[in-house]
Amino acid sequence: MCEADLMSYWVLEYRYADMDARARVRPDHLAYMNGLHEAGTVVMGGPVGDGTRALVLIQAPSETDVQRVIEHDPYTAAGVGADHSVRPWTIAFGV
């Protein structure tokens, strides 16, 4: 079994609390997420709907690893998110 077989997909959804802080911190957040994308942890992500929420698809071995992604996100330190949810996602096709 290879390392990729041990990875799971997770859907991170969060709601923005402070749109002004989001605009200020966005360059740092995007640099952080792009780094995780290049490392293979973040598959894709971005705002949804009216832009007050976002979805991120993460590939990681555990929810603990996903929580670390959230903890180190510049948006978290700046208080941009009002709340978030993390759910496992079983991919049936694609990827």
CA–CA gap between residue 95 and residue 93 (Å, rounded) = 7
Residue spans per domain, the chain: 3-89
Residue 81 has pLDDT above 80, yes or no: yes
Tens digits of residue pLDDT in 43-78: 999 999 999 999 999 999 999 999 999 999 999 999
Tens digits of residue pLDDT in 12-54: 999 999 999 999 999 999 999 999 999 999 999 999 999 999 9
Write the DSSP string, the chain. Answer: --GGGG-EEEEEEEEES-HHHHHHHHHHHHHHHHHHHHTTSEEEEEEETTTTEEEEEEEESSHHHHHHHHHH-HHHHTT-EEEEEEEEE---S--
When the candidates are 3.40.50.2000, 3.20.20.105, 3.30.70.1060, 3.30.565.10, the CATH number that belongs to 3-89 is 3.30.70.1060
Token representation of residue 22: 């989001």
Q: Which residue has better confidence, 21 or 95?
A: 21
pLDDT of residue 94: 83
